[in-house]
Amino acid sequence: MKFCSQCAHPVEFDTPPDDYLPRHICPRCGTIHYQNPKLVVCSIPVWEADGEAKILLCKRAIEPRYGWWTLPGGFMENNETTVDAAQRETIEEAGARIEVVHRLFSLINLPRMHQVQLFYRARLLDLDFKPGMESLEVKLFAEAEIPWNEIAFSTVRHALQCFFADLAQLKRGGSFGFHSHDILEPHYDADKSDST
C-alpha cells in the first residue's frame, strides 16, 4: 500500500500508538489501514444415490494449480454471508445448485497465506451441473475414485479426508463433527501435491 484510501496522501509503515504491529498509517489524516486475512469459503457438494455418497469436484482452469482437482470455493464478497458465498462459488465454478445441510464443517487457518478457509457440507439439489469459467471439468467422485494425487490444495485434501472419516463414523452410529486445523506452511507446492 502506497497511498491512503481516504485522502490519497502517501502512507508510512509504522507501529501506531497503543498498538504492537506495524501498519500503514496516513500522516495527513491519521487513518490506520488494517490488512486482515481473507475468508475463502468452499462447499463439499454431496450427491447420495444407492447408499453411496459422491462429491462434486472441479478441475481448475486457472492458476495456481491449473488442471488439478478442487472443491468449489473462493473469496467471500462484501454483503454476503459465508453460506451465501459457498452457494455462489458452487454456481460460479460448477454450475451446481446446493443446499448447505449443516453448520460449518471445517475451519482451516493459513497464517502464511493470510487466509482462513471455511468448508460447508452441502447437498446437490440436482445433477444439472457444468464447468464454470474457472473450471475445465466438473465430476462426481466416490471416495475410492477421488484423484488424491491430483488434489490442488492440502486444505481441500484435509476437508475431504475429514468428510469421509466422519461418513464412516456415521455408518457406525456416529455423526459429522466440526474440524479445525492449522497449516503453517504453504498449502501447495509448485511442482507436486503435498501430504499435509
Q: Please give the grid coordinates belonging to residue 112.
A: 502464511
Report pLDDT for 106.
Answer: 98
* Order of strands, sheet of 12-14, starting from the edge strand that comes earlier in the sequence: 12-14, 23-25, 32-33
Let me know how long the chain is: 196
CB within 8 Å of 116: residues ≥ 6 apart? 37, 38, 39, 40, 107, 108, 109, 110
- On whether the CB atoms of residues 80 and 92 are closer than 8 A, the answer is no
Per-residue pLDDT of 125-151, as tens digits, reads 999 999 999 999 999 999 999 999 999
Task: Kindly provide the b/e burial profile for residues 45-61, where b requires at least 16 CB atoms within 10 angstroms of the residue's own CB.
Answer: bbbeeeeebbbbbbbbe
Q: Is 168 helix (H, G, I), strand (E, B) or coil?
A: helix
The pLDDT assigned to 91 comes to 99
| Residue 48, strand partner residues | 53
Strands 115-124 and 38-49, by their bridges, are parallel
Enumerate domains of the chain plus CATH numbers.
1-35 (2.20.70.10), 38-182 (3.90.79.10)
Phi, psi for residue 85 in degrees, rounded to 5: -65, -45
| Helix (H) / strand (E) containing 89 | helix 82-94
pLDDT of residue 187: 55
Please provide residue 106's backbone torsions phi and psi, each rounded to the nearest 5 degrees: -145, 140
> What are the residue ranges in the chain where pLDDT is below 50?
190-196
User: What whole-number distance in Å separates Cα of residue 146 and Cα of residue 116?
Assistant: 24
